[in-house]
């Protein structure tokens, strides 16, 4: 190990980066969590008394959501009343010392508090401001309220989920919010690179929920543009790609992706259908799509008489991508997850040990880590304000006036 490598040993990739998070619920906080996992100092501003509503979403353990424990690890919590002018002044002081500001309020909210980008950039020209909203900061819909579910619908995803002729279904999680968060994180890292390498100033990153969803919709729009074709729901299949579907087994369901040309031949050999594997009309995807109903029937005729374990064993030996449908219990018991540190034990600040998802992606030299558990509301108010130079007496006075908590 050379001297430079030894000096950097144990250094986090984003160590020294200061992030102020003014978001709540999912999109903004997930982006901040991602940066925090890799070493950024994330200061989360919450409303005194109530805090982020996510603290009370879904399953509650000892008064706090277990989801909160994942979403807010590696963060510090400061409770400031942003509707109070003194509170706004404190927030501006924090932002003046930050590299990144993340917010996911409705457009115009920060402007109403005197925290538009132009004003903030006067004190901090290098500030990178990530703004996540339903429809973006511009356009005719900008002032409409928008949650992840609406973004999924407008982005085209919801129309494709479920089965033709039935009400579209959700995918089970708030995927629109998370996609927006990941696009926002990419934007932050891109802007940081520009600032450092190209000597650029800070800038605003504008992420709309529906645009983040639309960006991953593959050939949805080009197909409509070129052919006038509106893609329809495919149920458990992947329309236009064959064979790729969920197939019933004797004791459950298995997913099989036999849509590569050579993979298809191996799949057909494995299920005893070399007649299909050697059929020249099925040698490419276009030919297989034309006969997808026949192929799905042939595959399921083979899987239905076998257990999931048997199917996976045979297809694994044939090097055909296949897998069973995992529940939370399956994930928790799977040795591969644990071998890759994708299930971590985390102790909450109330003393409960819970298992939480690990950190993605895996960096070889500067891996992410859980440095601190999710904070209680205002756990770090005094420490953060002291870093701004406020004396204990001044902090106590602000608390007495309900500006901070």
Residue 3 predicted with pLDDT over 60: no
Q: What range does the domain containing 278 cover?
A: 244-327
Both 25 and 122 in one domain: the answer is: yes
**What band does 164 get if pLDDT is binned at 50, 70 and 90?**
confident
Both 13 and 42 in one domain: the answer is: yes
Both 203 and 104 in one domain: the answer is: yes
pLDDT at 2: 52
Residue 287 domain flag:
yes
| Percent over 90 (pLDDT), the chain | 91
Residue 333 domain flag:
no
pLDDT at 4: 44
CATH code for the domain in which residue 250 is found: 3.30.1540.10
pLDDT at 7: 41
Q: 316-344, pLDDT tens digit by residue?
A: 999 999 999 999 999 999 999 999 999 99
Q: How far apart are CA 333 and CA 354, in angstroms?
A: 15
| Percent over 70 (pLDDT), the chain | 98
**What band does 163 get if pLDDT is binned at 50, 70 and 90?**
confident
- For residue 29, give Cα distances in angstroms to 35, 117, 352, 380: 10, 20, 23, 17
Both 317 and 352 in one domain: the answer is: no
Both 320 and 263 in one domain: the answer is: yes
Q: 122-145, pLDDT tens digit by residue?
A: 999 999 999 999 999 999 999 999
Q: Compute, in degrees rounded to 10, the torsion defined by CA atoms 342, 343, 347, 348.
A: 80
Q: Which residues are catalytic?
A: 177
Average pLDDT over residues 33-48: 98
- Choose one of 327, 355, 390: the last residue of a domain: 327
Residue 148 domain flag:
yes
Q: 52-90, pLDDT tens digit by residue?
A: 999 999 999 999 999 999 999 999 999 999 999 999 999
Both 175 and 253 in one domain: the answer is: no
Q: 251-261, pLDDT tens digit by residue?
A: 999 999 999 99
CATH code for the domain in which residue 46 is found: 3.40.50.10540
Select the more confidently predicted residue: 4 or 113. 113
Average pLDDT over residues 19-38: 97
> What is the number of domains present in the chain?
2
Both 161 and 135 in one domain: the answer is: yes
Q: Mean pLDDT over all residues of the chain?
A: 95
Residue 50 domain flag:
yes
- Choose one of 327, 358, 378: the last residue of a domain: 327
Q: What is the pTM of this model?
A: 0.92
Both 175 and 296 in one domain: the answer is: no
Residue 223 domain flag:
no
Full 3-state SS string of 26-90 = CHHHHHHHHHHHCCCEEEEEECCCCCCHHHHCCCEECCEEHHHHHHCCCEEEEEECCCCHHHHHH
Q: 350-367, pLDDT tens digit by residue?
A: 999 999 999 999 999 999
Q: 371-400, pLDDT tens digit by residue?
A: 999 999 999 999 999 999 999 999 999 999
Residue 6 predicted with pLDDT over 60: no
Residue 336 domain flag:
no
Both 259 and 131 in one domain: the answer is: no
- Choose one of 282, 303, 327: the last residue of a domain: 327
Both 162 and 197 in one domain: the answer is: yes
Residue 229 domain flag:
no
Both 75 and 101 in one domain: the answer is: yes
Residue 276 domain flag:
yes
Both 294 and 378 in one domain: the answer is: no
């Amino acid at each position: 190990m050379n001297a430079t490598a030894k000096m950097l040993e144990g250094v986090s990739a984003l160590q020294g980066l200061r992030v102020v998070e003014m978001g709540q619920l999912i999109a903004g906080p997930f982006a901040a969590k991602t940066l925090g996992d890799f070493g950024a100092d994330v200061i989360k501003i919450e409303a005194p008394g109530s805090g982020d509503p996510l603290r009370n979403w879904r399953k509650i353990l000892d008064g706090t959501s277990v989801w909160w424990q994942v979403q807010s690890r590696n963060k510090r919590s400061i409770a400031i009343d942003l509707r109070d002018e003194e509170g706004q002044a404190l927030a501006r002081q924090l932002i003046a010392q930050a590299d990144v500001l993340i917010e996911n309020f409705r457009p115009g909210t920060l402007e109403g508090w005197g925290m538009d980008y132009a004003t903030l950039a006067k004190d901090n020209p290098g500030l990178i401001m990530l703004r996540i909203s339903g429809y973006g900061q511009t356009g005719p819909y900008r002032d409409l309220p928008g949650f992840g579910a609406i973004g999924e619908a407008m982005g085209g995803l919801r129309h494709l989920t479920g089965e033709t002729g039935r009400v579209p279904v959700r995918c089970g999680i708030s995927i629109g919010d998370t996609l927006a968060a990941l696009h926002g994180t990419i934007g932050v890292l891109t802007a940081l690179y520009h600032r450092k390498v190209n000597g650029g100033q800070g800038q605003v990153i504008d992420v709309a929920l529906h645009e983040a969803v639309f960006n991953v919709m593959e050939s949805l729009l080009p197909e409509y543009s070129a052919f006038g074709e509106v893609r329809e729901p495919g149920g458990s299949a992947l329309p236009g790609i064959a064979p790729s579907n969920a197939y019933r087994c004797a004791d459950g369901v298995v997913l099989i992706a036999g849509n590569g040309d050579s993979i298809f031949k191996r799949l057909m050999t494995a299920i005893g259908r070399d007649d299909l594997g050697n059929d020249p009309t099925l040698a490419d995807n276009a030919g297989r799509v034309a006969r997808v109903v026949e192929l799905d029937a042939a595959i399921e005729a083979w899987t239905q008489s076998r257990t999931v374990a048997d199917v996976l064993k045979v297809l694994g030996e044939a090097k055909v991508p296949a897998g069973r449908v995992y529940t939370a219990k399956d994930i928790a018991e799977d040795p591969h997850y644990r071998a890759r540190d994708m299930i971590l034990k985390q102790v909450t600040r109330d003393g409960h040990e819970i298992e939480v998802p690990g950190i993605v992606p895996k960096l070889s030299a500067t891996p992410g880590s859980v440095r601190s558990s999710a904070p209680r509301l205002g756990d770090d108010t005094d420490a953060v304000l002291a870093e701004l130079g406020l004396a204990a007496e001044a902090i106590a006075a602000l608390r007495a006036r309900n500006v901070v908590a």
